Amino acid sequence: MAPTRRTVLASGGPALGSLTAVSGCLGAGDADVSCPPSVPTDASLRIGFVGDVMLGRSVDERWRDAPDGPTAVWGSMLDRLQSLDGLVANLECCLSDRGEPRPGRRFHFRASPGWAVPALDRVGVSCVGLANNHLLDFGPAALVDTPTHLADAGIASAGAGAGRKTAFEPATVEIGGLSVAVVAVTDQSPSYAAGRDSPGTAYAPLDPSHPLTRRRVGSALAAARDADPDLLVATTHWGPNWVTEPAETQQAFARWLIDNGADVVHGHSAHVIQGIEVYRGRPIMYDTGNFVDDYAVKDGYRNDRSFLFELHIEAGQLAALELTPVENAYTQVRRADSAVAAWLRETVRERSRPFGTAIDRIDRAGRRLRIPLSCPA
């Protein structure tokens, strides 16, 4: 078996540090996170990250009986998605034919697994985060069905389960010959939190100073590190809707995740694009927005505009984050036209400016952007 990055570093490279935890928690500074981060491969790899993928309601109604539904939902982004070595998404709905709408909730998101699972498989989704505020919309049976249907198709998931232990359990998946661990957590809908023996999500306040967060999320990170992965992703469904800047607590938590071993922070929930930070040579995508859904477009927020975010691994290092502008054309995603691409380019630059993030154009039209994952000077 080829040595993993963790093994290589532990046997001679810069140490990653102790995973020793006090009462099951990791404290900031316990991991010595080297920069630039390295991975044990000479291959050039591209791992995609997208925000909310909501395949329920009108998306489900439009595509579930259409013969081309599993491919058509991805519109003109199909080829680009299929060219990736792996793809990580936030699945903003349960996948089930069972259950009833949860009382007291305004929105209920559920997709038929008969078409939705093939749709995810068609674009090579490697892993989905289930830690969000819609997995229990149709009750515990529908929640439990979701990871089962995904697993049957070979798609990994993390962030929800039949009990708290399962919900916080990291997923491990192979992407391009690398082992990738994924920890999924949320601070949304505490009523959806998994209990000791009751289905729900991996809920915690997502504040690095909160004892519950340090215990639950720290233990999940430790479990992920125990798997000795080559890459560790933290996918976070956090913060209020319709906010264009991450709160200071979110920023502190994101950096805490990296200080404790995460290589990528993949945020979502606000329904809008937020800024991108490079911390210790690792990307923090504070909010990746919406990728495909049937949501109304809120005035002034352009929640129908987002990116496909691609982590580029080159010469054994995390080299860059590349962004392809997209537009959600109501139940179908498509490549952004030049005007939308220009809006997204200027918006992500403006929202990333407080973090000192350099964003370069790859092509003259600005249809693709590149963020070097450089280390602090």
pLDDT in tens, the chain (377 residues): 344 544 443 333 333 333 233 333 444 445 658 898 999 999 999 999 999 999 999 999 999 999 999 999 999 999 999 999 999 999 999 999 999 999 999 999 999 999 999 999 999 999 999 999 999 999 999 999 999 999 999 999 999 999 999 999 999 999 999 999 999 999 999 999 999 999 999 999 999 999 999 999 999 999 999 999 999 999 999 999 999 999 999 999 999 999 999 999 999 999 999 999 999 999 999 999 999 999 999 989 999 999 999 999 999 999 999 999 999 999 999 999 999 999 999 999 999 999 999 999 887 666 899 999 999 87
Domains and CATH numbers, the chain: 5-9+29-372 (3.60.21.10)
**Contact indicator for 288, 49 with CB cutoff of 8 Å:** yes
d(CA 222, CA 261): 9
pTM of the model: 0.93
Token duo for residue 67 = 């013969």
CA 342: distance to chain centroid? 24
Residue with tokens 């962030």: 159
In angstroms, what CA-CA distances link 319 with 3, 281, 283?
Answer: 21, 9, 10
Model confidence pLDDT, tens digit, residues 313-344: 999 999 999 999 999 999 999 999 999 999 99
The 3-class SS string of the chain reads: CCCCHHHHHHHCCCCCECCCCECCECCCCCECCCCCCECCCCCCEEEEEEEEECCCHHHHHHHCCCCCHHHHCCHHHHHHHHCCCEEEEEECCEECCCCCCCCCCCCCCEECHHHHHHHHHHCCEEEEECCCCCCCCCHHHHHHHHHHHHHHCCCEEECEECCHHHHCCCEEEEECCEEEEEEEEECCCHHHECCCCCCEECECCCCCCCHHHHHHHHHHHHHHHHCCCCEEEEEEECCCCCCCCCCHHHHHHHHHHHHCCCCEEEEECCCCECCEEEECCEEEECCECEEECCCCCCCCCCCCEEEEEEEEEECCEEEEEEEEEEEECCCCEEECCHHHHHHHHHHHHHHHHHHCCCCEECCCCCCCEEEECCCCC
Structure-token pair, residue 32 = 């010595």
| Burial class of 285 by CB neighbour count within 10 A (0 to 12, 13 to 18, 19+) | buried
Distances (CA, A) of 369 to 190, 194, 311, 321: 36, 39, 12, 8
Structure tokens at 149: 């249907």
Four-residue CA torsion sign, 12, 13, 17, 20: negative
Which residue reads 């430790």 in tokens?
222
Beta bridge partners of 321: 311, 371
68 vs 287: CA distance, rounded Å: 30
